[in-house]
Amino acid sequence: MTKAIIDKSKKYLWLPFTQMKDYDHDPLIIESGNGVKVKDIFGKEYYDGFSSVWLNVHGHRKKELDEAIKNQLEKIAHSTLLGMTNVPATELAEKLIEISPENLTRVFYSDSGATAMEIALKMAFQYWINIGRPEKQKFIAMQNGYHGDTIGAVSVGSIELFHQVYGPLMFDSYKSSIPYVYRSESGDPNQCRDECLYELEQLLIEKHEEIAALSIESMIQGAAGMIVMPEGFLSGVRELCTKYDVLLIVDEVATGFGRTGKMFACEHEHVQPDLMAVGKGITGGYLPIAATFTTEKIYEAFYDDYDQMKTFFHGHSYTGNQLGCAVALENLRLLKTENIVDEVAKKAKVLERLLDTLYTLPHVGDIRQLGFMCGVELVASKETKEPFPNEKRVGYRVSLKMRELGMLTRPLGNTIVFMPPLASTVEELEEMIAIMKKAIHEVTSVAV
């Protein structure tokens, strides 16, 4: 059975963000999971060190989440949200609004982080048309931003490795610098922040009349390599957007639902976005639900007689799916009853100390962390911060070594991602960090 299914996987599948030649060399097929571990078809267990790509909250096979889906299944699996609604989608909307930043009062569902961002972009764009200011058509995006892989989301993204090929397909957006303290000239977080805010303000002074919205990840750029924004940056961006009458779209797809030790990362700086995209952790990592939140002001700009043509013409077949909304509701209940968000904030301090021990390794250049979102940047030289050459694939090789040692994660270039399920215990975190340390040591001691 095992060999047959591996052969099938090589014969029929094409995997996302994967060079299939790499997969064919090191295939992996997961069969089951329990708690913070998953198991492959050979029975080998791995810590889910990246929460199955940044999703998982309570671990796998969480009884209450499993039950929520089974119970919903006894009623109905799916009916549409076009022109009507269903019970769990409606209940969930109320709960989402309860926990979201105060000014956000409306929820629009979709099925992935990228679609939640597409929706935010289109809403922002049409908002200005609907209120009679159609000249505001452009977007500002942050350097190294990542918002998903559909064309609109890619157009406000700027990770060269993923986005360069598709350049001719994208709409233009202005790019503004993001403070990357470790690689900044001064290395000073405040200076780095102020320089970036200054640059953004210059752009806004010049262009604000044509700008519909600015999109930014919340507090930390994930795919760029877990780059934590210095204190005061996100709130500074909020102030500038308000001052120059530009909508602020905050992407909480990776950071939402407790991941950073707050329910939403923008709470770290009391930022209230005009639009907010969520996904990933919303269902505890169980089913594809995403949502775009907005304000009553934006909602009202679309609310009119049909012939005024202000309707938001956008939707997806599985929008508001009952099974997904039912499990999301149970996820929110568990976040509260199990006090997950405060626990993450507490355990993050322990995690910080564990991560600190990695600095004793000769090639660990920078460790960045916000809650349970961590990146360990490996460098050829600590003194000069010189990166490892890409062709050495140090990050990739470290992740393969971790796999061998019993933990899964995916690197971002030469930054090792550590994003364990939020329910991970201190003991489990210790074991995971020990695996990471061993893998980094083994790979980098021969890579140089």
Ligand X SMILES: *Cc1c(COP(=O)(O)O)cnc(C)c1O
Residue ranges binding ligand X (CB under 6 A): 112-114, 117, 146-148, 217, 222-223, 251, 253-254, 279-280
**Cβ at position 196, least distance to ligand X in Å:** 18
Shortest Å, Cβ 421 to ligand X: 16
We find the least distance from the C-beta atom of residue 96 to ligand X, in angstroms, to be: 17
251 is in an annotated binding site: yes
Is 180 annotated in a binding site? The answer is no
Nearer to ligand X, 47 or 146 (CB): 146
Query: What span, in angstroms and rounded, lies between the C-alpha atoms of 346 and 357?
Result: 18
Nearer to ligand X, 146 or 418 (CB): 146
Report the residue number, 251 or 377, with the smaller CB distance to ligand X. Answer: 251
Tell me if 139 sits within 8 A of 157, measured CB to CB.
no
Contact of 145 with 215, CB cutoff 8 Å? yes
Nearer to ligand X, 113 or 236 (CB): 113
Could you tell me if 399 and 411 are in contact, meaning their C-beta atoms sit under 8 angstroms apart?
Answer: yes
The span from the CA of 186 to the CA of 237, in Å, is: 21
**Cα distance between residue 121 and residue 249, in whole Å:** 8
Query: What residue type is assigned to position 319 of the chain?
Result: T
Residue 276's region, left for phi above 0, alpha for psi from -120 to 50, else beta, is beta
Least spacing, CB of residue 148 vs ligand X, in Å? 3
Please state the closest distance from residue 420 (CB atom) to ligand X, in A: 16
Own/partner pairs, 265-271, CB within 8 angstroms, 24+ separation:
265/218, 265/219, 265/220, 265/370, 266/101, 266/218, 266/219, 266/234, 267/101, 268/219, 268/234, 268/370, 269/219, 269/231, 269/232, 269/234, 269/235, 269/238, 270/235, 271/101, 271/218, 271/234, 271/235, 271/238
The single-letter DSSP state of residue 278 is E
Q: What is the DSSP string of 341-359?
A: HHHHHHHHHHHHHHHHGGG
> Which pair of structure tokens corresponds to residue 403?
């796999």
Q: Looking at beta carbons only, is 249 or 358 nearer to ligand X? A: 249
Nearest to ligand X of 250, 435 (CB atom): 250
Cβ–Cβ < 8 Å for 230, 190: yes
C-beta of 249: minimal distance to ligand X in Å? Answer: 11
**C-beta closer to ligand X: residue 113 or 354:** 113
> Which residue number, 201 or 267, has a Cβ lying nearer to ligand X?
267
Please tell me whether 113 is known to bind a ligand. yes
Alpha-carbon distance of 142 to 187, in angstroms, equals: 20
Instruction: Give the gyration radius of the chain's Cα atoms.
Output: 22
Q: How far is the CB of 106 from ligand X (least distance, A)?
A: 20
Q: How far is the CB of 302 from ligand X (least distance, A)?
A: 24
Residue least distant from ligand X (Cβ): 113
| H or E stretch covering 211 | strand 211-217
Q: Which is nearer to ligand X, 217 or 428 (CB)?
A: 217
Q: Tell me the β-bridge partners of 370.
A: 373
Give the separation between CA 193 and CA 269, rounded to whole angstroms.
Answer: 14
For tokens 């010049």, the residue is 206
What whole-number distance in Å separates Cα of residue 36 and Cα of residue 118? 32
Residue 317, annotated as binding a ligand: yes
Least distance from C-beta 57 to ligand X, angstroms? 15
CB of 205 to ligand X, least distance (A): 28
Q: Is 280 annotated as a binding residue?
A: yes
Alpha-carbon torsion 379, 417, 16, 12, what sign?
positive
CB closer to ligand X out of 117 and 298? 117
Provide the annotated binding site for substrate: 146, 280, 315, 410
Provide the annotated binding site for pyridoxal 5'-phosphate: 113-114, 251, 316-317
Provide the annotated binding site: 113-114, 146, 251, 280, 315-317, 410
